[in-house]
């Protein structure tokens, strides 16, 4: 009985691609079905039509100007008393009780921070939540 310790002939191992292809097909089918399912669950919406020219002619905005000395103008009308309650009342009158009105704050660059906060608080008290700030472009020098 002799043992052979020599080099046995080595065959190159083969990679069986059939299980790999099976897994890829299952993943592909899953992705196709889930994508199709997502299309069926989308909501069908019919968006309303709006005339943009009509919106430009009748803007719903109130312009509040704050000067560097703390004076307030609402739609170019001076507010007699700079207290919060009077500013809120003037904003409510200017907005005509329309909660969609946009408040545009034009504050002087050297105006006190508290003056701008007072306008924002007054707008919040009367339910005007859409507030934006007018700025000046450094390149053109015009208002935006």
Model pTM? 0.54
Average pLDDT, the chain: 78
- Asked whether residue 29 is domain-assigned, the answer is no
Per-residue pLDDT, 56: 52
Q: Partners of 78 in the beta sheet? A: 73
pLDDT at 4: 62
Count up the domains in the chain and report the number: 1
Residue 66 belongs to domain with CATH number? 3.30.420.270
- Residue 142 domain flag: no
Location of structure tokens 């919040």:
124
Inter-axis angle of helices 84-95 and 113-125, nearest 10: 50
Relative to beta strand 130-133, strand 102-107 is parallel
Is residue 10, in this structure, part of any structural domain at all? no
Summarised one tens digit per residue, pLDDT across range 42-51 is 555 565 666 5
Q: Which domain holds residue 66?
A: 52-133
Evaluate whether residue 43 is within a structural domain: no
Tell me, what's the pLDDT at 24? 94
Does residue 78 lie in a domain region?
Answer: yes
Q: Could you report the per-residue pLDDT of 54-99, keeping only the tens digit for each?
A: 555 445 888 888 888 888 888 888 888 888 888 988 888 888 878 8
Interatomic CA distance for residues 25 and 43, integer angstroms = 30
> Does residue 66 form part of some domain?
yes
């Amino acid at each position: 009985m002799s043992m052979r310790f020599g080099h046995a002939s080595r065959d190159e191992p083969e990679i069986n691609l059939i299980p790999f292809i099976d897994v890829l097909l299952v993943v592909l089918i899953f992705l196709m079905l889930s994508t199709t399912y997502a299309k069926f669950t989308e909501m069908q919406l019919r968006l309303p039509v709006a005339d943009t020219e009509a919106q430009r002619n009748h803007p719903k905005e109130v312009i509040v100007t704050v000067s560097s000395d703390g004076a307030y103008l609402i739609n170019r009308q001076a507010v007699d008393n700079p207290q919060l309650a009077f500013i809120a009342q003037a904003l409510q009158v200017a907005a005509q009780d329309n909660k969609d009105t946009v408040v545009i704050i034009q504050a002087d660059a050297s105006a006190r921070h508290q003056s701008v906060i007072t306008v924002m608080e007054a707008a919040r008290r009367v339910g005007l939540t859409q507030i934006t700030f007018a700025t000046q472009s450094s390149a053109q020098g015009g208002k935006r």
